[in-house]
């Protein structure tokens, strides 16, 4: 037995959405209580934020609302015209969901900068190569926070030699 599109639409009420949000929050609370952190090196940080994204293909008819990367790049093998990109930051040390953003699928991870708003002194951010932008890393360093990221192979690294004080 199937369900019609209209029948499914009627199921997404405000109370159903609120119920799912409450269940999601409750699952995070259970996760927090079940995962003790016993790592001495992490005690040096105020938070340890893990940032990553996922992509979800949508029906091409949703392109009006959420443009996918298949319609953004002319020679892309994937011809999906609609997609969502989920950006999630989980604070491992404090066991909380720090940030969850939905964006159009065409947006790259490098364009995502919302995580910079919550960075503060002694935070540690762990990101993948997709987020590597020197300006963002400078901002993290500027608030005296830390990051772990792979760097692009065409990146030049220099050791600054400080002048001797006399």
CA 34 – CA 24 distance, rounded (Å): 16
* Residue at 126 is within a domain: yes
* Residue at 123 is within a domain: yes
* Residue at 163 is within a domain: no
Lowest mean per-residue pLDDT among 16-25, 32-41, 61-70, 108-117: 32-41
Q: What is the dihedral of CA 64, 69, 72, 74, to 10 degrees?
A: -130
* Residue at 77 is within a domain: no
Report the mean per-residue pLDDT for the chain.
82
Range of the domain at 99: 37-56+86-148
* Residue at 70 is within a domain: no
- φ and ψ of 152, to 5 deg: -65, 145
In the chain, % of residues over pLDDT 70: 80
Q: How many domains does the chain have?
A: 1
* Residue at 166 is within a domain: no
User: Which pLDDT band, with edges at 50, 70 and 90, does 92 fall under?
Assistant: confident
Residue 19: per-residue pLDDT: 85
Residue 120: per-residue pLDDT: 94
Kindly state the average pLDDT of the residues 126-148: 93
Instruction: Compare 55 and 26 and report the one with higher pLDDT.
Output: 55
Residue 136: per-residue pLDDT: 93
CA 107 – CA 119 distance, rounded (Å): 22
CA 166 – CA 158 distance, rounded (Å): 24
Q: Quote the strand ranges of the chain, DSSP E.
A: 47-58, 82-91, 96-104, 123-126, 146-148
């Amino acid at each position: 037995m199937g369900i019609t599109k209209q029948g499914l639409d009627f199921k997404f009420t405000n109370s159903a959405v609120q119920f799912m949000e409450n269940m999601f929050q409750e699952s995070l609370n259970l996760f927090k209580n079940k995962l003790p952190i016993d790592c001495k090196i992490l005690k040096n940080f105020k938070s340890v934020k893990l940032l990553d994204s996922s992509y979800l293909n949508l029906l091409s008819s949703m392109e009006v609302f959420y443009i996918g990367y298949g319609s953004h790049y002319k020679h892309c093998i994937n011809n999906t015209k609609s997609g969502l990109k989920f950006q999630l930051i989980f604070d491992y040390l404090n066991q909380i969901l720090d940030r969850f953003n939905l964006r159009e699928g065409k947006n790259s991870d490098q364009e995502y900068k919302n995580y910079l708003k919550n960075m503060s002194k002694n935070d540690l951010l762990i990101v993948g190569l997709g987020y590597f932008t020197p300006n963002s890393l400078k901002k993290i360093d500027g608030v005296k926070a830390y990051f772990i990221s792979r760097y692009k192979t065409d990146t030049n690294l220099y050791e600054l030699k400080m002048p001797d004080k006399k």
